[in-house]
A = this chain, B = another copy of it.
Amino acid sequence: GGDAGQWRVVSQSAWIGEGLPAVPFIRIDDQTDNQMGPPRWTLRGFTSNLRYSTRSERSLLDRRSEGLHRSHATCAALIPITKSPQWWAMAQDERRAIYARSEHMAIGADYLPAIARRLHHSRDLGEPFDFLTWFEYPPEASTAFEALVARLRSTEEWDHVIREIDIRLVRC
């Protein structure tokens, strides 16, 4: 987050817990060092193997997905999330059960292919957020996007979210 980037910030709000300093642009880099001047803040994450979804769930998502970087998907959202220590102390089956009851996968699938999504993991890097969730969608899917986040936030899984920032963007 800083004074330049591929995405312009149209709104930035602390949904749960402490916010981040307001910035006008988000720049996405594969490297943390770059030539464009220091950012106001930096969030790091990595994509990884599937942690919860089953083969049948993943196959459904893959069939419907179009991926990121579509030229008409000029809107984006960056929603960094931190879950509670109690969440992370659970065993795999306990977390999976909440994920399944919350229909996390099914909710996301309902908005494919319009709303593309990519999950970045941060917790294992010692970052302040556990996940950097990223969404890309065309302007006409903006109302659908509001419905998607509202449904996710109403789930049992979200009871375990202790920090959440909601940053909405348009491509420059």
List residues of chain A with CB under 8 Å of any chain B CB: 46, 48-55, 57-58, 88-94, 96, 121, 123-125
A93 contacts which chain B residues (CB < 8 A)?
54-55
A46 contacts which chain B residues (CB < 8 A)?
124-125
- Cβ-defined contact, A53 with B92, below 8 A: yes
Alpha-carbon distance A89/B54, docked complex (angstroms): 12
The contact sample of 13 A-B pairs, CB cut-off 8 A, is A49-B88, A49-B89, A49-B123, A51-B51, A51-B92, A54-B91, A54-B92, A54-B93, A54-B94, A55-B90, A57-B91, A58-B91, A92-B96
Identical subunits present: 2
A92 CB to closest chain B CB (Å) equals: 5
A47 CB to closest chain B CB (Å) equals: 9
A48 contacts which chain B residues (CB < 8 A)?
123-124
The answer, among B50, B89, B121, for a CB contact under 8 Å with A92, is B50
A86 CB to closest chain B CB (Å) equals: 12
A89 contacts which chain B residues (CB < 8 A)?
49
A57 contacts which chain B residues (CB < 8 A)?
91
- Cβ-defined contact, B124 with A91, below 8 A: no
Q: Report the 4 A-B pairs with minimum CB-CB distance, sorted nearest first.
A: A54-B93, A55-B91, A58-B91, A49-B88
Instruction: Add 5 more A-B contacts to A50-B91, A51-B51, A58-B91 (CB < 8 A).
Output: A48-B123, A48-B124, A50-B90, A54-B94, A55-B90
